[in-house]
Amino acid sequence: MPRLPAPLTLPDPDPGRGSAAARDRRTRGKDPGPAPAGPAGPRPLRTGGSPLRRGESATAWAFIAPAVLIILGLSIVPVGWSFLLSFQADDLVTPSRWVGLDNYRALRMDPHFAQAVKNTLLYTALYVPLSIGLGLLLALVLNRRIRFVGLYRTLIFVPFVISATAQGVLFSFILDPEFGVANSVLHTLGVSPQGFLSDPGQALLVLVAISLWSGTGFCVVVYLAALQDVEPSLIEAARLDGAGRWHLLRHVKLPALTPVSAFLLVWQTINALQVFDLVYVTTKGGPLGSTTVIVYFIWEQAFKNFTAGYGAAAAYVLAVALGVVTVGLRLVRRRSVRPVSVEGAAR
């Protein structure tokens, strides 16, 4: 078969015409001239100092000014004023007198303040672990598919919504030593009447029980939300590997609940250290100072004994204690968080 002749190609007189290097050599040293006129793009707006900008800023400040005034008036200014007040002798009537650290030295030697600290720590040590433990137990029970589970969850959470003042009034009637329902029930069961809130040996324990009745519901709701957020694949994998109910709880669910438990530990501890409403409504710090907690001691010194500087010093001791507790619990949380191990659940 005869070969076809190759197509005729003419040599390019300027082989580098289309290359970038050639174009660069041709334009080097030459003035490119003015850029071609094109469609004008949008010019940047000059907002600084314009009347429109100033009007928008004024409108924004008009909207946020009430919130800023509330924050300054109810938070920042009182904190600074009370800090200065803690170094003064002030009865809220006559001019104050600077005393330096005398208020803090007096707190260290005050037996009533020591008793208030002791009562607060005992209340916290009882309330915090019991509320978290009961909340976890009830959450594990209510996380199962049982009949009327929605009703049970609602009934457990309702006491948390009731204010501490209403709880105090309610239980003051129920636990009244003479006319209360509690002693009537105990009499029917053949048990001798109890003093409850009027007994120095029982009053603080009764306050813990009332707080558990109302505060456990919050822990239940938080734990329920966390349990429903646990990956079903982890639970199913652990079950396929032969993990029982106890191992599943210990090695899968509890590690997944560690951040929530740390949050509840901090939250419940802060609430316990700041308890006041329930004590004020039920016992007024009595009987014999057995239920006087730190916040009630602060209120008593500032607004009952009219030693505002002394009460402010006690308030800042409590604030420092809260800060130390919060930082310590956060450090414990960082060290205690560990990944969930399905292999460990199977063992």
- Each residue of 132-163: pLDDT tens digit? 999 999 998 888 888 888 888 888 889 888 88
- Residues 6 or more apart whose CB falls under 8 angstroms from that of 163 comprise 277
Hunting for tokens 């939250």 — which residue is that? Answer: 267
Report the alpha-carbon distance of residue 138 to residue 255 in Å, rounded.
18
Hunting for tokens 């009731």 — which residue is that? Answer: 162
pLDDT tens for 31-83 read 555 555 444 555 554 545 577 787 888 888 889 988 888 888 888 888 888 89
With a cut of 50, say whether residue 225 has pLDDT above it: yes
Share of the chain above pLDDT 70, in %: 81
Report the alpha-carbon distance of residue 206 to residue 296 in Å, rounded.
17
Cβ(323)–Cβ(215) under 8 Å? Answer: no
With a cut of 70, say whether residue 7 has pLDDT above it: no
Report the alpha-carbon distance of residue 216 to residue 187 in Å, rounded.
29
Q: Which of 16-25, 140-149, 273-282 has the highest mean pLDDT?
A: 273-282
Report the alpha-carbon distance of residue 52 to residue 20 in Å, rounded.
49
pLDDT tens for 116-132 read 999 999 999 999 999 99
Phi, psi of 35 (to 5 degrees): -70, 145
**Which residues does residue 334 pair with via DSSP β-bridges, in sequence order?**
none
Taking the model in full, what pTM does it have?
0.75
